[in-house]
Amino acid sequence: MSFQNVRKASQEKAQGLLLPSLQSPQPSVSVSSSVSIAGSAHTADKTTLMDFLGQFDKDRPEHHDKASGTSQHEEVEESEPEEPSEKEEAKIEESATATQPIEPEPEQSKQESGPATEKASDSENRPNEQKSADEETSVSLEHITSTSYGEGEELNDTSDSEEEEEELKASQKEELPKPKKQDDKKLPTDYPNPPTSNKKSVVFDFQKFLTMFKNKQCEPIHKYLRSFLTQFSQRTWTVDEQVKLIKDFEAFLYDKLLQYYPFNTIQDELELDNCKEGLEKLVLTRLYSQVFAPATPKPKQSPQQREDLLKDRKYHTSLKLYDWINPRHLDIPVSLGLESNFVKLASGEINKINNYKSPRDKIICILNCCKIIFGLIRQQQKMHQIEENADSFVPLLIYVLLQAKPKYLYSNLQYIERFRLEEFLVGETSYYVSTLEIACNFIIDLDRDKLTIEDEEFDEQLALAKQRLEKQKEEKKQRNEQKGANDILSPIPKKLTELIGSNSNESPSQVLTKSAEMMKQSISSSFNNLFQTSPSPSETPAKQELIDIKKLSLEEHEHQETMRKQREETTDALVSMFPNLDRELITDVVASKARTEGGGNIGDCVDALLELSH
């Protein structure tokens, strides 16, 4: 089949099949489409996939009902046909800006459906266009038409234990929205770039990807994306299902993407990687509140996610119980003087992990942190006879974690392991992610035997730490009780004030992003109106584009400003770390690194300055 035909067929499908009930609410068999993903023939995979298929079936809404209006919920949503690609575009825009973890809003998923009565055998219906010789699995990504972003009533679900509630609220209310405060350098468009290697590499350019992605020609892709996101949000998947679904969909969408302009013009391998990165970030940013355990509203958490959170809780407790540990307890032959600046800097990097949603961005925070620790090792090498190896690195990494106390480290690592594209989680990256897992697990299971310490000192320190912890818990409980009472009264208005009112120190674009995200998650019908300000949703691409461009340029400006601020802060830190170097020189190094690496990679600055200071 010729390329033209393929393309035409897919377009037809996208327009005709993916969104039929949006355009014409007919009880139609063509409402759902399914996507099959083929690979090598593993029978094991097939089994799981069939199970999975069944689950999909379970949740497929009855479209006849929808059309005839028996499902009230859906009828409301359907009453206004939408032009999804435009809406999609708006959301894509949001994804670009939503690098900040945003407080998850519980989703109303009232469409829990009954068991599947039949499993569709889809192989017969498959259009031959995409038939591939080595099909293995098929995942149905059938389309349903209503988003189920709810109003947040489930937040007040009190069925679970108090403790858990407390923990969850703590995670949702206090911690996730906060990073902004400690790290106001972060801007929507700001994403990190990795330490450079001498390998040929391109700086990941998400903005560029989005610009291409927004192209009108990619409209069918927008529809696939939207269809998938909608379908995904319909129920709570197990973690394994999530991984399979998302990876399969990413592979599917990537293949599709390359059929459309401007992506079909890409020749360069690295540019193609940029697309894969872009897709991963786009998809996972949008699904973050469903796949990242700490951001997932409790009612939607899967058992595995609950387990992750349990580990996080253990980890957080350990951090609090052992916050008194000093390098000596871990046999770190480094005295703390000048070096503490390295530790601070490394802490700052690892703590950014919760500011980002995409696995790649999180990984880069990890790599930057590791790189700074190696900078410290290199600096101390001569003085303390330490070698640059795992023996010296692992204890320092643990020490940095104990100082930095990055939240939800366990969940973050699980998330990375699960959702980072396998082809990118290799080699050095894989090594440092694994090492961080080791450090995290070490902290989770930390006890007396794992430290170099006298019993007396240990008992004393631990008793003191426990006292502090108890006190904190008590305070937290009281705060939450008050909060809980408020929530029951009026969850949404409170949200609004929280988001817009109390964050007056945020930049306009941040508020915009946040409120937009909130709208998306909580008031789906209003959301439709919000992004369809024009009477006819499909006829104002120019207008929409203009809004997009304005938004972009605003963000770009903010971004520049942030980068400048960030460079200043970096310079300050570095000046204190390298007192023997001239401030001007350090400023130059920071500036030049910022230019060349696109993100002002701090690890590289440390490297360069270490060289200079010798």
Partner 1 sequence: MSSNTATEHGQSAMRFAQFKLVLLGESAVGKSSIVHRFVKDSFTDSRESTIGAAFLTQTIQIDANTTVKFEIWDTAGQERYRSLASMYYRNAQAALVVFDITQESSLDKAKYWIKELQKQASSGIVIALVGNKLDLEEERKISKDEAQAFANELGLMYAEVSAKTGEKVKDCFKDIALKLPLEEKLSQQGQRRRRTVDLNQRPSTNEQQCAC
What is each CA distance from 451 to 373, 454, 497, 563, in whole angstroms? 21, 9, 47, 40
Residues 167, 432: Cα–Cα separation, whole Å? 29
Q: Nearer to partner 1 by C-beta: 187 or 439?
A: 439
DSSP conformation letters of 497-538: IIIIITTTTS-HHHHHHHHHHHHHHH-HHHHHHHH--SSSTT
Return the structure tokens found at 401: 């974690």
Considering only residues 562 to 581 of the shown chain, the ones binding partner 1 according to CB under 8 A are: none
Q: Nearer to partner 1 by C-beta: 484 or 598?
A: 598
CB 508 within 8 A of CB 554: yes
Binding mask 226-255 for partner 1 (x = CB under 8 A): ----------------------x--xx--x
> Any idea which residue has 């306009």 for tokens?
508
Among 113, 490, 497, 596, binds partner 1 (CB under 8 A): 113
Q: Confirm or reject binding of residue 449 to partner 1 (CB under 8 A).
A: yes
Residues 191, 459: Cα–Cα separation, whole Å? 43
CB 179 within 8 A of CB 186: yes
Among 22, 25, 36, 289, binds partner 1 (CB under 8 A): 36
Least spacing, CB of residue 197 vs partner 1, in Å: 4
Q: Confirm or reject binding of residue 432 to partner 1 (CB under 8 A).
A: yes
Q: Nearer to partner 1 by C-beta: 511 or 612?
A: 612
Give, as one character, the DSSP assignment of residue 105: P
Least spacing, CB of residue 171 vs partner 1, in Å: 26
Least spacing, CB of residue 256 vs partner 1, in Å: 7
Instruction: Evaluate the omega torsion of the peptide bond into residue 262 and state whether it is cis, within 30 degrees of 0.
Output: yes
Q: Confirm or reject binding of residue 184 to partner 1 (CB under 8 A).
A: no
CB 454 within 8 A of CB 448: no
Among 196, 259, 340, 587, binds partner 1 (CB under 8 A): 196
Closest C-alpha to 39, from 134, 127, 124:
134
Q: Confirm or reject binding of residue 456 to partner 1 (CB under 8 A).
A: no
Among 441, 503, 515, 540, binds partner 1 (CB under 8 A): 441
Considering only residues 377 to 416 of the shown chain, the ones binding partner 1 according to CB under 8 A are: 377, 387-391, 393-395
Return the structure tokens found at 477: 């409980």
Query: Interacting stretch for partner 1, rule CB under 8 A, among 93-101, 115-123, 285-293, 494-502?
Result: 115-123
Least spacing, CB of residue 3 vs partner 1, in Å: 15
Query: Interacting stretch for partner 1, rule CB under 8 A, among 280-288, 434-442, 468-476, 574-582?
Result: 434-442
Give, as one character, the DSSP assignment of residue 175: I
The CA angle 287-288-289, to the nearest 5 degrees, is 95
Residues 481, 495: Cα–Cα separation, whole Å? 17
Q: Nearer to partner 1 by C-beta: 415 or 531?
A: 415
Q: Is 124 exposed, middle or buried (0-12, 13-18, 19+ CB in 10 A)?
A: exposed
Return the structure tokens found at 338: 């000048």
Among 2, 118, 504, 508, binds partner 1 (CB under 8 A): 118
| R_g (Cα) of the chain, nearest Å | 25
CB 380 within 8 A of CB 339: yes
Query: Interacting stretch for partner 1, rule CB under 8 A, among 26-34, 179-187, 475-483, 531-539?
Result: 26-34
Least spacing, CB of residue 611 vs partner 1, in Å: 13
Least spacing, CB of residue 438 vs partner 1, in Å: 4
Q: Confirm or reject binding of residue 51 to partner 1 (CB under 8 A).
A: no
Least spacing, CB of residue 353 vs partner 1, in Å: 16
Considering only residues 285 to 324 of the shown chain, the ones binding partner 1 according to CB under 8 A are: none
Amino acid at 571: T
Q: Confirm or reject binding of residue 37 to partner 1 (CB under 8 A).
A: yes
What is each CA distance from 305 to 62, 302, 309, 379, in whole angstroms? 29, 5, 6, 41
Least spacing, CB of residue 258 vs partner 1, in Å: 12
How crowded is residue 251: how many other Cβ atoms within 10 Å of its Cβ?
17
Considering only residues 583 to 612 of the shown chain, the ones binding partner 1 according to CB under 8 A are: 603
Q: Nearer to partner 1 by C-beta: 103 or 142?
A: 142
Residues 281, 287: Cα–Cα separation, whole Å? 10
Considering only residues 131 to 160 of the shown chain, the ones binding partner 1 according to CB under 8 A are: 131-132, 134-135, 138, 140, 142
541-549 LR contacts (CB < 8 Å, sep 24+) = 541/86, 541/216, 544/86, 544/89, 544/90, 548/89, 548/93, 548/214
Among 6, 116, 469, 554, binds partner 1 (CB under 8 A): 116
Q: Nearer to partner 1 by C-beta: 450 or 476?
A: 450
Return the structure tokens found at 510: 């941040």
CB environment 581-600: b (16+ within 10 A), e (fewer): eeeebbbebbeebbeebbbb
Considering only residues 354 to 383 of the shown chain, the ones binding partner 1 according to CB under 8 A are: 367, 370-371, 373-374, 377
# residues near partner 1 by CB under 8 A:
87
Query: Interacting stretch for partner 1, rule CB under 8 A, among 88-96, 301-309, 441-449, 455-463?
Result: 441-449
Q: Nearer to partner 1 by C-beta: 113 or 490?
A: 113
Q: Nearer to partner 1 by C-beta: 150 or 195?
A: 195
Q: Confirm or reject binding of residue 419 to partner 1 (CB under 8 A).
A: no
